[in-house]
Chains A and B, each alone.
Chain A
Amino acid sequence: MRVVIAEDDALLREGLALLLRSEGFDVVAAVDNADDFLTLLDDTDAAVLDVRMPPTFTNEGLKAAETARQRRPGFPVLVLSAYVEDRYAAQLLAEGAGGLGYLLKERVGKVTEFTDALRRVAEGGTVMDPEVISQLLSRRRADDPIRTLTPREHEVLGLMAEGLDNDTIAARLVVTETAVSKHIGKIFMKLGLSTSDSGHRRVLAVLAYLRT
């Protein structure tokens, strides 16, 4: 899989390239700004973008992700950020269509999870940082139906919002897939969400619910 990295910090950029290459990714280029990444858009299958890059060091990475996906709808982008901001997550997810990820930078330390996340994004999945989810989950009102969830259901909801599919959730929690399906059914019932959705749409539904 051909990947472009855009990260302005030289050491991190080289490290990311090294990491992805040693895990079998074809790193086409590692650039230090958003514009260079956009010129390489047609030669690549996915991108890993830093949020803060020159010239303004605010949200160049997010803007570049939006531009890239306007030119190539559904182009897989994994955005890395020094701190998580659910507003950024919402901005990324707003146009839908899958193939999006938003992770804290330090997640790269768990190499296999990180490369899994990048693969999921490249396949059109959605990846949300657990930190974003816990920010959203912790900001709930007292009368929120989420408070009626059991601790296990709470856990499943979080993993679902991170973009994991039922298999992976089952593996993470060391339970059977049927057990996970049952939990999800109950969660959707308690929150009043439609159960027919799957994949990216499911993440969107859950995140949309969490943001209200």
Chain B
Amino acid sequence: MVELGAGLTSLFFLLVALALVPVLVLSGGTLVVPLIVRPLRWWALLARERSERYRGRPISSAYRPIPDSATYGELMRLAFSRSTGRDLVWLVGDAVIAPLVSLLTIALPLAAVNALLVPAYWYLAPANDPIASPFPVTSWAAAAWSPLVALGYALAAWWLVPGVASVLTRAQAAMLTPGRNEVLAERVTALTASRAAALDAHAAELRRIERDLHDGAQNRLVSVVMMLGIAERSLETNPQSALPQLRRAREAATDALAGLRTTVHDICPPILQELGLEGALSSVAGRSAVPCSLHAEGLHRVPSAVESASYFIVAEAVTNLNKHSEATQATISLETDASEPAQRLLIVVEDNGHGGATERPGGGIAGIRRRAEAFEGTLEVTSPVDGPTRMRVELPCGW
């Protein structure tokens, strides 16, 4: 039934698309993507979801992302890409074959019901145009056979309908499944983007370290040199005043050391190496002013780069919620999903604060997103006004 509806909708879309052809040609093709490719993708994705529900196996789509402001060349490449072609072929197939086959599957049970009812109404039909389903019923004797016919129809339906449905979805799945090359191409695109994100994260990290060193240790050491210079002059002119200046020099040197310690710690947190991810995170939770509970038992080993990223993500999230949320309770939970093929580390940080967290360039959430995307991970933040705030990060770690 669903496929009949879907097939008819496909037919409708196909007709609309055909009707639009002159417009598309006249517009030089620029409208192809907004008018055809987007709805086509949407419709094909729905079909993929239906198929996934029926067969329990997902169909990947291998779509190249549509850029927000694409150039003409990009639009054309999208319009004539393999994925668009495949979706179109499927659309034609779906519009023509699916309704026919679906009609058959609906007709069989209906015929069975009809045959069952024939004994009740055959005598109402005019004698010169008897009910012929499938043989002319002109007597009670003939009508008596009718329930047997109904049984036949029912058997046929019982046997055929699931088979047809399965063949139909299998055919549909085959038509919608991208080729191996396309899957690889999609993977390359994703990898290129994640590599670029990793490089950006790296560059941002370097800038941050440079800023930290410049504002921290470097300035403090200049102060040390300056105070020592002043003390030196004082010793020549007024030795009594040299002592406080020497003290200030020592304090500045101590500050410089503290600054260096923080910077070095941030580059590669030693606590992570000592205590592992769970231990390091419980120390983050322990340092938080907002009471923070941690659930990270039974984590599988993840690559150390992912550990480091998740440590900073959680630390940043906890800093954020301490700074902005006014929460009274927060939860950090981590779990690893080792099921094949995609091993993932899932991080959820929640608080009961006043919500309304937004992502600003250079802000904490943007930093978390950068770190997550560097590993092809994802970040979702839900933070309605009045809270609660929930941040969910998924980091793939089995690649």
Contacts and interface: CB of A to CB of B under 8 A. Distances in A.
A107 to B, nearest CB: 9
A84 interface: no
B205 interface: no
Interface stretch (A14-22, A64-72, A119-127, A131-139): A14-22
A110 interface: yes
B162 to A, nearest CB: 68
A114 B222 CA distance: 13
Interface string B227-258: 11110111000000000000010001001000
A108 B222 CA distance: 8
A110 B230 CA distance: 9
B220 interface: yes
A109 interface: yes
Interface in A175-209: none
A109 B226 contact: yes
Contacts of B233: 22-23, 111-112
A22 B228 CA distance: 14
A116 to B, nearest CB: 13
Contacts of B214: 52, 82
Contact of B219 (A11, A18, A57): A11
Interface in A13-53: 15-16, 18-19, 22-23, 52
A23 B236 CA distance: 12
A109 B229 contact: yes
Contacts of B230: 15, 18-19, 22, 111
Contacts of B220: 11
A105 B225 CA distance: 9
Contacts of B255: 11
B228 A9 contact: no
A15 B69 CA distance: 53
B333 interface: no
B229 A19 contact: yes
Contacts of B229: 19, 108-111, 114
A162 B354 CA distance: 59
A111 B227 CA distance: 10
A82 B222 CA distance: 9
A11 B218 contact: no
Interface string B193-209: 00000000000000000
B219 A109 contact: no
**Chain B binding site: helix, strand, loop or mixed by DSSP?**
helix
Q: Which of A19, A23, A111 has the most CB of B within 10 A?
A: A111
B359 interface: no
Given A9-B219, A22-B233, A82-B218, A15 B226 contact: yes
A80 to B, nearest CB: 9
Contacts of A106: 221-222, 225
B215 interface: yes
Nearest to B237: A22
A19 B230 CA distance: 6
B215 A16 contact: no
Given A9-B215, A11-B252, A111 B232 contact: yes
Nearest to A105: B222
B223 interface: yes
A108 B219 contact: no
Given A11-B220, A57-B211, A108 B225 contact: yes
Q: Which of A11, A19, A108, A112 has the most CB of B within 10 A?
A: A11
Contacts of B222: 12, 82, 105-106, 108
B132 to A, nearest CB: 89
Contacts of A22: 230, 233-234
Contacts of A112: 233
Contacts of B211: 57
Interface string A143-182: 0000000000000000000000000000000000000000
B238 to A, nearest CB: 9
A105 B221 CA distance: 10
B215 A12 contact: no
Nearest to A23: B233
Q: Which of B211, B214, B219 has the most CB of A within 10 A?
A: B219
B218 A12 contact: no
Nearest to B219: A9
A22 B236 CA distance: 13
A15 B219 contact: no
Contact of B223 (A15, A52, A57, A110): A15
Nearest to B211: A57
Contacts of A11: 219-220, 223, 252, 255
A15 B244 CA distance: 12
Given A106-B221, A111-B229, 8 more contacts: A9-B223, A11-B219, A12-B219, A15-B226, A18-B230, A19-B226, A108-B225, A111-B230
5 contacts: A15-B223, A19-B226, A105-B219, A109-B229, A112-B233
Interface of A: 9, 11-12, 15-16, 18-19, 22-23, 52, 57, 82, 105-106, 108-112, 114
